[in-house]
Amino acid sequence: SEEEEEDDSDDDEEEEESQEPSRERQEALLKKLKKKLPEIEKEVGLNGLKGSYDAISIFPFSLECYNLKSKEIFFIKVQSQPHLPKTARSNTPPELALISGCSIKKAQKIISLRPFNTWKDFYKDNGLSIDLVHGCKVVLKERQVVRDLMGRCEKIAQKMTKDVTQVIEAGMGSIKQPKVLNSNFKLQPYQLIGLKWLILLHQHNLSGILADEMGLGKTIQAISFLAHLYEKGIKGPHLITVPSSTLDNWVRELGLWCPSLKVLIYYGSVEDRRYLRQDILSGLVEFNIIVSTYNLTIGNDYDRSLFRKLRLKYAVFDEGHMLKNMNSLRYRHLMAINAEHRLLLTGTPLQNNLLELMSLLNFIMPSMFSSSTSQISKMFSTRSSEEESRFHKDRIAQAKLIMKPFILRRVKSQVLKWLPPKVENIEMCPMSDAQQNLYEKLFKRLKKAPNRDKRELCNVMMQLRKMANHPLLHRQYYTSDKLAAMSKAMLKEPTHFDADPALIQEDMEVMSDFELHNLCKQYSSISSFQLEKELLLDTGKFALLTKILTMLKEKGDRVVLFSQFTMMLDIVEILLKHLDHQFVRLDGSTPMAERIGLIDKYNTNPEIFVFLLSTRAGGQGINLASANTVILHDIDCNPFNDKQAEDRCHRMGQTRTVQVIKLISRDSIEACMLRVGQEKLKLEQDMTTDGGECQHTTSIKPTGHN
């Protein structure tokens, strides 16, 4: 600004007298700086300044000097000396590039030109803008906001740590489960500790995240806590928001463990929910707890209005990792729920991403963080893991330490010593000859296709995944000539006698081979066009799956089989019927009212050999410990979704070793997905554990047809 330039005029005149500052001038400047250290530290939040530094380390990358008149921070550096600490001397382009408008190229230029004798030398005749200086100020202010928040959290952490230590020293005898709980059920010792931890949070007027590994009974601990509040006279209302697939399970567990709690299910059509809202707001229905799904809690304006009007005591969010993005619409809508306290339940470990950590912390303690969400979002939205500065890495470690009192996480290997292990086998399946040829043709076509054609295919990766699993997920066998003949034959049907064959063929051309096969089964006029069973079963995975299922059945094992694709499950059904294996199935289209019945049917009837599930609908929140083998017919892009699916069997109540079998088509995109997924899991283990979390072993088997 003009004012800043005027303030610096005297200094500039002095600098013009000598392009090379004398040693006397440097010493005079250092004396001024040292006198100003307390004032500077207070203004920009410097920490740990000690010793006789020749430069003030504001950033880890030593873009430092402080204008004593305008109190502006400039990219000016006194000639560095060997005795400066390493953190003040080391400079890297990615660290400089964290400033808005500073590219890697500009950062490299700044480093090559340093030190600058005056701040005008920074931008004079070298293509650098004074805006970078102001960007530097913005970053400093954002960091100061975060430092302040960290300090507040640390004070809370100290109080919580003291109370937790007292509980541990008092021993398990001091922790009792609420009397209002069903006396036929007993909490495990680690669940009692989880209950006590929740009680301590409540006593300190804090919210928290219960992050026990999947299968350790987070649902039961949350119900026990609500029962404790009921005993203490805090009878609600509470809200429990869950994924659709776990709604029935929550309602059942509430009824089993604490019948005294009156539960209202907020579910149904738009009209049903309208009547429910009227009853709730007018007090015509008694309840302590409302259980609903994420989709319906924020379903429309009227649903959202209800939960803003209700004065809730606790809002519990199952699968809380769904709230890790503070910029999402779901996050903002759920933040508007009017609750005194919030409890997140998540079995998915927190990742090496400080913005996600802070998003969760902001959600459970909005009074502390909500005013600073924009600064938090800007501060920790890094470009990539390679470009994270030491500041970010230090803050990740610091944030995890600070969040410890607000997050409780136990893993099965720590608390369930008796739980049988989980063994993972990766079966590399060669594709069938026909499937291999079709895959290679598709790959070459996608590789050679111009960009516009690739966009028409929508998702290249998805097309390759489908072919790697089953050729019938594409249209290969039903050629255009066949479709023309079928569309004419369809005119014999009473429902299509006056239809246009060209339009019928147009509809058929967007269908897969398997969909067309099912269409042929539906209409007698085209039934002769059905595919032969050999084509339906002609995949490398089915050849291996046939052998695996036969072997498992002979041993008396039971199987839970997951797939990403519901159409793939349709084809697997054909294989199971062909092999005469009994099965049940649950996917996203299964009505909510039927889901818990299917789970009970499988768990109580050992004659049912296989449970078919779609990974997204059945991969979380349900208990299938009666099975001891998990087969992942096709893996998810997110390995944590597969881990959740595996833990439907590897959980409390399991008495046998759990075998996880992943079917991977060899030399296909699935092999690439597997490698990427393993790297993600390795990163998670390195960042969130001390190395003792994994209890399973892995082996890879290249498998052939013979």
| Per-residue confidence (pLDDT) for residue 619, from 0 to 100 | 56
- Residue 360 included in any domain: yes
- The token pair that represents 610 in the structure block: 């296989």
Chain segment 207-247, per-residue pLDDT in tens: 888 988 877 889 999 999 999 999 999 998 999 999 887 88
pLDDT tens readout for residues 614-661? 887 765 667 888 899 999 999 888 787 888 888 888 887 788 889 999
In sequence order, the 6+-apart residues with CB closer than 8 A to the CB of 547 are none
Residue 318 lies in a domain: yes
The Cα–Cα gap between 488 and 485 comes to 5
Which pLDDT belongs to residue 236? 81
- For residue 26, pLDDT over 60 is answered with no
Instruction: Tell whether 119 and 249 lie within a shared domain.
Output: no
Q: What are phi and psi of 428, to 5 degrees?
A: -85, 105
The answer on 575 and 558 residing in a single domain is yes
Taking the C-alpha atoms of residue 135 and residue 153, their distance in angstroms, rounded to an integer, is 27
Local structure of residue 700 (DSSP, 8 states): E
Q: The CATH number of the domain where 580 resides is what?
A: 3.40.50.300
- Judged against a pLDDT cut of 70, whether residue 430 lies above it is answered with yes
Tokens 């082996």 sit on residue: 699
Q: Take residue 613 and report the two structure tokens written for it.
A: 């599930």
Q: Provide CB contacts within 8 A for 397, sequence distance 6+.
A: none
Using alpha carbons, select from 635, 630, 632, 631 the residue that is nearest to residue 650: 630
Residue 19 in this model has a pLDDT that exceeds 50: no
For residue 671, report the phi and psi dihedrals to the nearest 5 degrees.
Answer: -65, -35
Decide if pLDDT at 432 tops 90: no
pLDDT of residue 269: 87
Length of the chain: 706
Q: Report if residue 405 sits inside a domain.
A: yes
Together in a domain, 517 and 570: no
Is the pLDDT confidence value at 314 over 80?
Answer: yes
Q: Do residues 122 and 240 share a domain? A: no
Assess if residue 305 is contained within a domain: yes
Confidence of residue 580 (pLDDT cuts 50, 70, 90): very high
Residue where one domain finishes, among candidates 491, 511, 530: 530
Q: Are 130 and 75 in contact (CB under 8 A)?
A: no
Q: Which of 20-34, 121-135, 442-456, 618-632 has the lowest mean pLDDT?
A: 20-34
pLDDT at 441 (0 to 100): 85
Same domain? 508 vs 561: no
Q: Residue 558: pLDDT above 90? A: yes
pLDDT score at 35: 61
Same structural domain, 259 and 124:
no
Provide the b/e sequence for 117-141 (b: ≥16 CB within 10 Å).
bbbbbbbeeeebeeebbebbeebbe
Name which of 2-16, 101-115, 679-693 the model is least confident about: 2-16
The band of 464, judged by pLDDT with boundaries at 50, 70 and 90, is confident
In a domain, 558, yes or no: yes
- Cα separation, 294 vs 118, whole angstroms: 57
445 or 683: which carries more pLDDT confidence? Answer: 445
CB–CB of 615/563 below 8 Å?
Answer: yes
108, part of any domain: yes
CA distance 286 to 497: 57
Q: How distant, in Å, are the alpha carbons of 26, 108, 263, 319, 334 from that of 78?
A: 8, 19, 69, 53, 51
Reported confidence tier of residue 74, pLDDT bands at 50, 70, 90:
very low
**168 within a domain of the structure (yes/no):** no
Q: Are residues 85 and 191 in the same domain?
A: no
Mind listing the pLDDT tens digit for each residue in 592-618? Answer: 778 888 888 999 999 999 999 988 776
Which of 9-23, 122-136, 301-315, 473-487 shows the lowest mean pLDDT across its residues? 9-23
Same domain flag for 544 and 493: no
Cα separation, 290 vs 278, in Å, equals 14
Is the pLDDT reported for residue 60 higher than 60? Answer: no
The answer for residues whose C-beta is within 8 angstroms of residue 369's C-beta and 6 or more apart is 149, 358, 361, 362, 376
Cβ atoms of 375 and 146 within 8 Å: the answer is yes
Same domain, 559 and 695: yes
Q: What's the number of domains the chain is made of?
A: 4
| 61 has pLDDT over 70 | no
Q: 10 Å Cβ neighbour count for 532?
A: 10
DSSP string, 73-113: B-S--PPP-TTS-HHHH---HHHHTTSTT--HHHHHHHHHH
- The pLDDT value recorded for residue 553 is 92
Q: Which among 348, 366, 208 is positioned nearest to 647, based on CA atoms?
A: 348
What average pLDDT does this structure show over 48-60? 32
Q: Can you give the pLDDT at residue 84? A: 30
pLDDT, tens digit, 9 for 90 and up, residues 338-382: 999 999 998 775 554 566 777 787 788 777 665 555 656 655 555
- The answer to whether residues 671 and 559 belong to one domain is yes
Residues 40 and 185 occupy one common structural domain: no
Q: Are residues 639 and 512 in the same domain?
A: no
Query: What does the angle CA 426 – CA 432 – CA 433 come to, to the nearest 5 degrees?
Result: 140
Q: What is the domain-level CATH number for residue 346?
A: 3.40.50.10810
CB atoms within 10 A of CB 699: 9
**Residue 561, helix vs strand vs coil:** strand
DSSP states of 241-255 as a string?
Answer: EE-GGGHHHHHHHHH
In a domain, 595, yes or no: yes
Residues contacting 491, CB < 8 A, separation 6+: 497, 499, 501
Return the amino acid letter for 83: H
Instruction: List, for residues 389-417, the tens digit of each pLDDT value.
Output: 555 566 566 666 667 678 888 887 777 77
Instruction: Count the Cβ atoms, other than its own, within 10 Å of residue 478.
Output: 22
User: pLDDT tens digits for 157-198?
Assistant: 777 777 777 766 766 666 788 999 998 888 888 898 889 889
pLDDT at residue 78, rounded to an integer: 33
Peptide bond into 501 cis (omega under 30): no
Q: Mutual orientation of helices 189-203 and 218-231 as an angle, nearest 10°? A: 50
- What domain range is 52 assigned to? 2-129
Average pLDDT of the chain to the nearest whole number: 75
